[in-house]
Amino acid sequence: MKELFSRRVLGIEEPPTMVFRELAARLAGEGHQVVSMVGGEPDFNTPRPIIEAAYKAMIDGHTRYINPPGLPELRARIARKLREENGIQATPDEVIVTASGKYAIYIALCAILNEGDEVMLLEPAWVSYKPQIELCGGRPVSVPLDFSDNYAITKEKLEAHVGERTKAIVLNFPNNPTGRVLTREEADVVADFTLKHDILIISDEIYEKIIYDGRKHISPGANEAIKDRVITINGFSKAFAMCGWRLGYVAANREIAKQIIKVQSQVITCPASFSQYAAVVAFDCVDEVAAMAKSYWERRDAIVEGLGKVNGVTCRKPEGAFYVIPQIEHEDMKAWDLSMFLLKEARVGTTPGDSFGYGMERCVRMSFACSMDEINAAVANIAAVLGRKQS
């Protein structure tokens, strides 16, 4: 019998977030009170002006195909946003509207990778980069970053993992799962490194609006010296609470953009037309976005303070995004067992830390994009099973 499946597909696994989300849902279905902090999905509804714009677009008959690179008004609006907010000097023809941020990363990788090309991944890293690189024929190369120095990026760490086949490095700031925000020094280190080795940057900035303590988001593509080698990725899911609309975008130099557009047009033609009409007004929902960001900030403070009082738990304050990655010392348990234990005993759904790669063997990831009541219940339940620190 012929080999039935693609070896590339057999080589990847189901996302662990899906596994634990399902387990949490099953327990809830059996009547248990479960707090699921597994997925990274805002608990807010999409701001009303965006919904109204989508409705109007549908009523007005905008329910047909759109040109593969995206709705011209939206490409122009995104280019303006990138220039004004990120300092990226993008023109509309350097912007491609994509069916989600996740898909934006996939088609960017698909456009640049040849079999065996290496892509450097700063770990811990979001769960989907590695399988996506592999599906595109590339080879992910882990660059381990350490909890002990707050996951600092240094020239030495980068130089230790670059080779002849290195094609690109993925940056993700604010970071999922560590919550780190890129510093100016780190941005300069990466810029020099990519120029020296002639490699591309894929900069996933999907959490840019969720940032704390007055920190400022830095876009690597704003640096004129490397602008042409940066592929900037973003999306509407997190900042605008639009996960279900499946909309994202890529900004890249014209040559790269041309290849990415080819992939999108051959695979999906275009993202949903009415999602694109609606997204044009999303950028004007400044107050709504700020209110959500403020709420995440309050939730961050609450969960970090709460977990800090629990026995065996070390939890750093994230600088951005909406995740904490507490390190838990409990009966020598590793990440998967810890997540299982927390689900079964504390009724709290988490993602096992080792899903994110290096240095997370004793951690779980918890999303605090849920209500304050859920955060308080989760902390109380975990404290009940692990005990409280002696003060």
Are 22 and 343 a contacting pair, CB within 8 Å? no
Binding range to ligand PLP, per CB under 6 A, among 94-102, 254-262, 274-282, 311-319: 94-102
Please select the residue that binds ligand PLP; options are 132, 166, 172, 276, rule is CB under 6 A: 172
Q: Does 102 bind ligand PLP (CB under 6 A)?
A: yes
Q: How far is the CB of 17 from ligand PLP (least distance, A)?
A: 8
Select the span of 66-74, 96-104, 296-304, 362-370 touching ligand PLP (CB under 6 A).
Answer: 96-104
16 binds ligand PLP (CB under 6 A): no
When asked if residue 248 is in the footprint of ligand PLP (CB under 6 A), the reply is yes
| Residue 235 touching ligand PLP (CB under 6 A) | yes
Taking CB under 6 A as the binding criterion, the range among 47-55, 83-91, 99-107, 131-139 that sits at the site for ligand PLP is 99-107
276 makes contact with ligand PLP (CB under 6 A) = no
Tokens representing residue 383 in the block: 């404290």
Verify binding: residue 119, ligand PLP, rule CB under 6 A: no
Stretch binding ligand PLP (CB under 6 A), from 2-10, 224-232, 235-243, 339-347: 235-243
Query: Which one, 102 or 227, has the nearer CB to ligand PLP?
Result: 102
Contact flag: residue 106 with ligand PLP (CB under 6 A): no
126 binds ligand PLP (CB under 6 A): yes
Can you give the binding site for ligand PLP, defined by CB under 6 A? Answer: 40, 100-102, 126, 172, 176, 204, 206, 235, 237, 243, 248
